[in-house]
């Protein structure tokens, strides 16, 4: 061994330097001890694992692989290689980073999923627009005539959509309220449930169901009044500013007769099972603060829930009513569940 003080070479078993007398310390190899080193793979695994918080699986997967290989080599080294803790940390760190990323990404993934359902719903309503268009073209440019419980749109247009039953349901509301048509069971829908199936004992056409409802004012009234005064009804799609008139839209019942003094639902999925205040039937948060609607010109778009009060539901509808910005609506005029929605 060499003297660390003067550099003189001495026998391996010398305890002091023959030249200067300095105390000599034997090297590990000289005394038979094992040289121990830290696993480079374990270090790399930890570094890549930490980088996975920024780069995700690009470095996370390699970190896990290197960590496992490092652990195997450390176990087989007989103590010559250390770094087991680093290797384990390199394996565990990406797992935590993946979990954190999933927590952060879930809201975005849910938004994408809901957006896809909104697009599919609009595709359904586009087909419904074509059905209503074909019907009016075959009926002298008019919608069907409604007499009380007779003349529902489902009956009048059955031949036009019977082979396309998949368009009956919005993708957000595919569960049916009364699938077995049990008499006495509530068949009204809600935000995520379709109305129906109508039981035979109800006196209406048996088996109908759906996620959409018609603006009752589009009918040709067969009697006066038909729920509402006949002078309000459109009767035909051939009207001025048809793109402002709702025709067929997301709804928890098959029809509604909104008035400009209707009030919003008091709470989420609050329902009113009478024909008065029936804006309630369309004011459901099915598509992120809105619903989808086919208008009288057969166009389709999303409508904000507060925007419902600005649409031209019937002849004489006051579009500057108390629930609109033009009518001076205040934030406190809306129920809590709608208070943060966009104003119109």
Percent composition of the chain: helix, strand, coil (DSSP 3-state, to 5): 40, 15, 50
Give the pLDDT band (50/70/90) at residue 26: low
Instruction: Report d(CA 123, CA 243) in Å as an integer.
Output: 17
Q: Give the domain ranges of the chain.
A: 1-30, 37-103, 139-338
**Percent with pLDDT over 70 in the chain:** 97
By three-state DSSP, how is residue 62 classified? helix
| DSSP states of 192-247 | TEEEEPPPGGGSS-TT-EESEEEEGGGSEESSSSBSB-GGG---SS-STTGGGSEE
Residue 246 dihedral angles phi and psi, to the nearest 5°:
-65, 140
Give the pLDDT band (50/70/90) at residue 77: confident
pLDDT at 32 over 80: no
pLDDT of the residue at 122? 97
Q: Are 239 and 142 in contact (CB under 8 A)?
A: no
Per-residue model confidence as pLDDT tens digits over 208-237 = 999 999 999 999 999 998 999 999 999 999
Give the pLDDT band (50/70/90) at residue 56: confident
Least confident among 25-39, 58-72, 252-266, 324-338: 25-39
As a whole number, the mean pLDDT across the chain is 90
pLDDT at 184 over 60: yes
Which residues face 213 on adjacent strands? 249
> Which residue's entry shows tokens 């009060």?
309
């Amino acid at each position: 061994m060499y003297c660390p003080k003067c550099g003189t070479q001495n026998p391996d078993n010398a305890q002091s330097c023959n030249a200067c007398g300095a105390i000599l310390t034997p090297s590990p190899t000289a005394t038979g001890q094992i040289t121990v080193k830290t696993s480079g793979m374990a270090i790399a695994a930890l570094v890549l694992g930490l980088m996975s918080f920024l780069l995700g699986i690009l470095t996370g997967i390699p970190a896990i692989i290197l960590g496992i290989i490092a652990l195997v080599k450390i176990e087989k080294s007989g103590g010559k290689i250390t770094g087991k803790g680093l290797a384990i940390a390199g394996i565990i760190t990406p797992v935590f980073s993946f979990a954190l990323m999933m927590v952060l990404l879930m809201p975005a993934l849910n938004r994408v999923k809901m957006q896809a359902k909104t697009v599919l719903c609009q595709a359904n309503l586009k087909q419904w627009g074509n059905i209503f268009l074909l019907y009016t073209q075959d009926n002298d440019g008019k919608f069907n005539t409604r007499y009380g419980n007779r003349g529902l749109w489902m009956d009048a247009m059955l031949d036009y959509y019977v082979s396309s039953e998949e368009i009956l349901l919005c993708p957000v509301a595919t569960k049916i309220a009364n699938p077995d048509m049990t008499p006495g069971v509530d068949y009204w829908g809600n935000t995520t449930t379709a109305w129906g199936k109508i039981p035979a004992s109800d006196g209406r056409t048996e088996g109908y169901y759906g996620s959409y409802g018609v603006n009752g004012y589009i009918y040709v009234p067969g009697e006066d009044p038909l729920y509402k005064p006949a002078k309000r009804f459109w009767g035909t799609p051939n009207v001025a500013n048809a793109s402002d008139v709702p025709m067929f839209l997301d709804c928890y019942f098959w029809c509604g007769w909104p008035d400009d003094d209707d009030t919003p639902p008091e709470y989420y999925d609050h329902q009113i099972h009478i024909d008065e205040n029936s804006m309630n039937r369309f004011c459901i948060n099915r598509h992120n603060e809105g619903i989808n609607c086919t208008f009288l010109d057969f166009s389709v778009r999303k409508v904000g829930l507060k925007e419902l009060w600005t649409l031209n539901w019937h002849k004489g509808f006051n579009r500057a009513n108390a629930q609109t910005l033009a009518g001076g609506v205040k934030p406190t005029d809306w129920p809590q569940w709608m208070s943060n929605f966009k104003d119109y």
